A = this chain, B = another copy of it.
């Protein structure tokens, strides 16, 4: 649904901006893993596409609020960073398929890089409510780009931090730290959100341990609702065939081992409808 929300609070945390937006209707429907799209630029803007942002936090205040956490990348997020309390904000959501959560109280490692960590906190709350054990691995390029360390420490059994420049926690990437966390916590499942490279590495680790991994992918999106076909990536279906599927509606959460990370940004020759070969598989 589309809602003209109102900015309630803005804050800056290290390299991140956070906006809490009163968005009744969206807030109560949001499940962990959902995202929203935000119109940027105001009236007469030259920016045509909405920006996709994960929902970090949902609260029932004022009829329902969502918190969005983001870094400034280009003009759209720059505009968002300039919003002030009481400004209107046009949201569509909740969008995408949320995280599947285990029925049993299993041990889960939640792996987040950069702003990708944001989407893991509502998930952690849900898992904890079901009696799961939750451990965090959070990383970023530098200390100011690791999101949510404090909150992770509060809710999780253990929190492992990594930075590529070594300015906080272990030097390296989240996937480097992951094996020992999985081993130590005897994890049953991994959830990960971050850049595509990170997801590939995390998936490789989880597969080595032979435990399921859910990844949240991020592809450039023009619509977020499944109608523009711009956000596709090659994913292997139940039937073993590869299809170019839309991250916005068929994802953004996928089972890691089904995503053909090496082939993202290409049309694999054996994908359904690929030039030449793939078409034959079609039904």
Task: Write the residues of chain A forming the contact surface with B, with a CB cutoff of 8 angstroms.
Answer: 41-47, 75, 78-79
- Ordered by A's residue number, 14 sampled pairs between the chains whose C-beta atoms are within 8 Å are A41-B44, A41-B45, A42-B42, A43-B75, A43-B78, A43-B79, A44-B45, A44-B46, A44-B47, A44-B75, A44-B79, A45-B45, A45-B46, A46-B46
Nearest B residue (CB) for A42: B42
Tell me how many chains of this kind the complex includes: 2
Q: What's the Cα separation between A79 and B41 when bound, in Å? A: 13
Q: What's the Cα separation between A189 and B5 when bound, in Å? A: 57
Q: What's the Cα separation between A43 and B72 when bound, in Å? A: 15
Chain B contacts for A47, CB-based, 8 A: 44
Chain B contacts for A78, CB-based, 8 A: 43
Chain B contacts for A75, CB-based, 8 A: 43-44
Q: Give the distance to chain B from A266, nearest Cβ to Cβ, in Å.
A: 32
Q: What's the Cα separation between A45 and B42 when bound, in Å? A: 9
Q: What's the Cα separation between A249 and B38 when bound, in Å? A: 44
Q: Give the distance to chain B from A85, nearest Cβ to Cβ, in Å.
A: 14
Q: Give the distance to chain B from A47, nearest Cβ to Cβ, in Å.
A: 5
Chain B contacts for A44, CB-based, 8 A: 41, 45-47, 75, 79
Nearest B residue (CB) for A76: B44
Nearest B residue (CB) for A82: B43
Chain B contacts for A41, CB-based, 8 A: 44-45
Q: What's the Cα separation between A42 and B79 when bound, in Å? A: 10
Chain B contacts for A45, CB-based, 8 A: 41, 44-46
Q: What's the Cα separation between A42 and B44 when bound, in Å? A: 9
